[in-house]
Chain A
């Protein structure tokens, strides 16, 4: 995973709350067995509307999505994160993220930055006033700057550390192999096993 320390790009104002993962990528695209190539599936239904923000020339090349509260609710599909990344987004800003989406983003190096809703609204204003306004998100200092807006964002220490270092979760856990083995040796034998199968 590529580390993120700071990112500067243009922003896309998505002025909606409860953007669920079915909107981010409809289920029909979940049939694929690959992890890439989902850029066309991103916001598939909404992109059919010519007025949708990503269809506006000024916002087409944004890399920071600035959304309303409760972003990423619903289905656990990690495809939502893959699609956002494949499209070119590096940072998502929202005042609240659904738990599973938040976890999935961290695993893929997509920074989900929690910014208070009043500040999100100020950023929307800046982006609407001048779509070329750059947003700089600094993970080291946990700050977001966009035009006259200069604010902080919330992220837990552990997720921040993993993003800064670009660490892969599985290798981290496999360092604990001994502890896992020790836990297994004390695990009660009456816990169910799927094998051999009983039906």
Chain B
């Protein structure tokens, strides 16, 4: 991706990159300095922005393009009693600071209580602000979500947030490209979350470092936009800066009619451009990985990084299964933290809590799929289940379909929108030693609360697990148990 020659077939990532170069980097001593890229959309939230706004204020700089910037409150916000002031004074100050900064710098903000408040990566696509071929950034690593539209979308740090606020550009070193080809058809009960967990288990948490991943192949083409967002969302867990899917009819259909989608003639012009972005035949990737969708089974993590996962029908691995001494040591440590015995079937592991939510799996389709499994069934009485829609809008849409009733009848808690139990920043946290089947993205030590134990799963696995109380596949609850011969 260092040289983008016009006569060579290009990948999607290279095309989007090419169309955003403001100033090309210089070649010197066989290396190229970063290109300066224009940023089409900057998403802002309360956690990674206060120090950036403070930097602007100290330097007397304005926000260059408030009209390409949008903010929402998500990480700190409670998911209960949202009409009351935020109880934690430190969280409240951070949210109030965002409100004051947005007011001062003229930035559109969707606050708690607003229909478009919610997780920043749910809100952008929902409003139609995320469209193919854009550059999208946010001070949040899961910005990779927006790559599902064929955008180049990246998480950035607070210094870069300030840089984008001030200049609407970002200095970016050229990336390498990796094709992640997923061919075949997913079996019932297997979902896009399982694809990405399998990809991460295959290439490792550092396998994507320096790369933009492009997910392609017949299995990806068959996926809905929301399923594609789940995959792109977790690209960062493979170490990649971004993940993308070539825009197609599914993409256009999803964008069409949304509040900020182009209309009339503009729509046709836009779609023509979007169609032109697909990776050309003969374009070369710097690396390639292949996954077979036909044989994929529901996946679950056993350890403390997202690469430590296995098929749900497998057992907790033994550290000696790993040849690499670093992996072996990491497995030992993870098993100790997770309190798991090697050789235990994953399906024998009991959980205390099931969390359905996060920027990975909190969209309407995720809620529908989980509701389909639990409808008319009983929750394991020992298990608590928390369902947190990704945005206030998703919550309203789910309620219009009666999904809230399904969850409530099942005995699950139906919450207001936010990041919730994905990270320990708001009241929704695991207690020490509490074990959770979670549809979120990170099983790091203490991620969901100090001492909490996380198993990453898909929404349908989460639902089946809430019914049986142990990690379970949808097939475990949909089919009668086979009787021993």
Which residues of A come within 8 Å of B, CB atoms? 15-18, 20, 22-23, 26-28, 30-35, 45, 68-70, 73-79, 81, 96-100, 103-104, 107-108, 117, 156-158, 169-170, 172-174, 176, 179-180, 183-184, 187-188, 190-195, 197-199
Contact = CB atoms under 8 A, between A and B. Distances in A.
B1 interface: no
B442 interface: yes
Nearest to A1: B159
Interface string B23-51: 10100110101101010110000011011
Interface centre among B47, B68, B134 (most CB of A within 10 A): B47
Nearest to A159: B173
Interface stretch (B190-198, B217-225, B293-301, B444-452): B444-452
B168 interface: yes
11 contacts: A16-B333, A27-B423, A33-B54, A69-B326, A78-B157, A79-B158, A103-B157, A156-B31, A158-B33, A173-B167, A194-B69
A18 to B, nearest CB: 5
Given A70-B239, A108-B159, A187-B38, A76 B305 contact: no
Interface centre among A34, A107, A170, A195 (most CB of B within 10 A): A170
Contacts of B433: none
Interface in B161-220: 162-163, 166-169, 171, 173, 205-206, 209-210
Nearest to A15: B329
Contacts of B25: 158
A193 B262 CA distance: 10
B59 interface: yes
B166 A174 contact: yes
Contacts of B424: 26-28
Contact of A98 (B140, B206, B262): B206
B209 A18 contact: no
A195 B163 CA distance: 20
9 closest Cβ pairs, A-B complex:
A104-B157, A107-B159, A78-B157, A33-B50, A198-B259, A78-B158, A76-B155, A76-B141, A70-B206
Given A156-B173, A170-B163, 17 more contacts: A16-B330, A17-B327, A26-B424, A26-B446, A30-B425, A31-B88, A35-B54, A69-B326, A73-B206, A74-B444, A78-B159, A170-B167, A173-B167, A179-B22, A179-B36, A180-B36, A195-B66
Nearest to B207: A70
Given A103-B157, A176-B22, A199 B28 contact: no
B361 interface: no
B4 interface: no
Interface of B: 22-23, 25, 28-29, 31, 33-34, 36, 38, 40-41, 47-48, 50-51, 54-55, 59, 61, 64, 66-70, 75-76, 88, 90-91, 93-94, 97, 108, 115-116, 127-129, 131, 134, 139-141, 155-160, 162-163, 166-169, 171, 173, 205-206, 209-210, 236-237, 239-241, 259-262, 266, 269-270, 273, 305, 326-327, 329-330, 333, 423-425, 442, 444-447, 450
A195 B239 CA distance: 34
B302 to A, nearest CB: 14
A68 B155 CA distance: 23
A138 B230 CA distance: 43
Contacts of B54: 33, 35
Nearest to B450: A45
B141 A158 contact: no
Contact of B29 (A20, A157, A194, A197): A157
B157 A158 contact: no
Contacts of A108: 159
B444 A192 contact: no
Given A26-B446, A194-B67, A176 B209 contact: no
A45 B64 CA distance: 40
Contacts of A198: 127, 259-260
Interface centre among B76, B94, B206 (most CB of A within 10 A): B206
A73 B305 contact: yes
B283 to A, nearest CB: 23
Nearest to A197: B108
B206 A76 contact: no
B444 A20 contact: yes
B447 A33 contact: no
B68 A99 contact: no
A140 B189 CA distance: 56
B159 A194 contact: no
A22 B445 contact: yes
B173 A176 contact: no
B262 A190 contact: yes
A190 B36 CA distance: 22
Contacts of A183: 22, 38
B38 A180 contact: yes
A20 B305 contact: yes
A195 B94 CA distance: 24
A69 B330 CA distance: 11
A20 B330 CA distance: 12
Contacts of A173: 36, 163, 166-167, 169, 171
Nearest to B56: A170
Contacts of B450: 26, 45
B171 A169 contact: yes
Interface centre among B55, B61, B134, B445 (most CB of A within 10 A): B445
